[in-house]
Amino acid sequence: MNAKHPLLSIIITSYTMDRFKDICDLFDSIKNQTLMEIHRDSMEIKSPNLSQSLPISTSSPIEVIFVAERSKELYEKVKEKGREIFGNVVEIGGDSVEIHRDLMEIHRDSTETQSSNLNKSQQISINHKVLFNDGEPGLSAARNLGIKHAQGDIIAFVDDDVVLFPNWAEEVIKGFDDESIIGVTGPALPLWEDEKSMSWFPEEFYWIISCTAWFDCNEKREVRNAWGMNMAFKKEAFELCGLFRNEYGFHKGLFAEDNEFSLRVKAKTGKKIIFCPEMRLWHRVHKYRISLKFIKERAYWIGRSRRNLKRTYRGNKDLLSPEHALLRRIIIRLFWDILKDLVRSPVIVWRKVCTTFVVLFFVTLGYCCLFKKK
**What digits encode the pLDDT tens for the residues 317-336?**
899 999 999 999 999 988 88
**SS3 at position 243:** coil
Give the C-alpha separation, 179 to 181, whole Å. Answer: 5
pLDDT band, residue 89 (cuts 50/70/90): very low
Q: Give the pLDDT band of residue 370 (cuts 50, 70, 90).
A: low
Q: What is the pLDDT of residues 106-149, one digit of tens each?
A: 333 433 433 343 343 444 558 889 999 999 999 999 999 999 99
- pLDDT tens column, 48-88: 555 555 444 345 689 999 999 999 999 999 999 998 888 74
- Supply the pLDDT for residue 113: 37
Q: How confident is the model at residue 305 (pLDDT cuts 50, 70, 90)?
A: very high
Q: How far is CA 324 from the centre of its chain?
A: 23
Q: CB-based contacts of 121: which residues, under 8 Å, 6+ apart?
A: 105, 106, 107, 108
Angle between helices 72-86 and 20-31 (to 10 degrees): 30
Q: How confident is the model at residue 169 (pLDDT cuts 50, 70, 90)?
A: very high
Model confidence at 281, in pLDDT bands (50, 70, 90)?
Answer: very high
For residue 92, pLDDT beyond 50: no
How far is 202 from 213, CA to CA, in rounded Å?
A: 9
Greater pLDDT, 18 or 3? 18
- Average pLDDT of the chain is 84
Which percentage of the chain shows pLDDT scores above 90? 70
- Residue scoring higher pLDDT (109 or 19): 19
Q: How far apart are CA 160 and CA 229, in angstroms?
A: 9
Find out whether 62 and 33 touch, Cβ atoms under 8 Å.
yes
What is d(CA 237, CA 266) in angstroms, rounded to the nearest whole number? 9
pLDDT at 267 over 80: yes
Residue among 72, 43, 78 at smallest CA distance from 58:
43
Indicate whether 94 pLDDT > 90: no
CB 152 within 8 A of CB 239: no
Per-domain residue ranges for the chain?
1-161
pLDDT for 250 beyond 70: yes
pLDDT of residue 100: 46
| Side chain identity at residue 137, one-letter code | P
Q: What percent of the chain has pLDDT over 70?
A: 80
Q: Tell me how far CA of residue 54 lies from CA of 107, 184, 255, in angstroms.
A: 16, 21, 38
Give the integer Cα–Cα distance in Å for 13 and 68.
6
Number of Cβ within 10 Å of residue 364's Cβ equals 13
Residue predicted with more confidence, 269 or 4: 269
pLDDT at 1 over 70: no
How much is the pLDDT for 338? Answer: 86
Judged by average pLDDT, the poorest of 30-34, 227-231, 280-284 is: 30-34
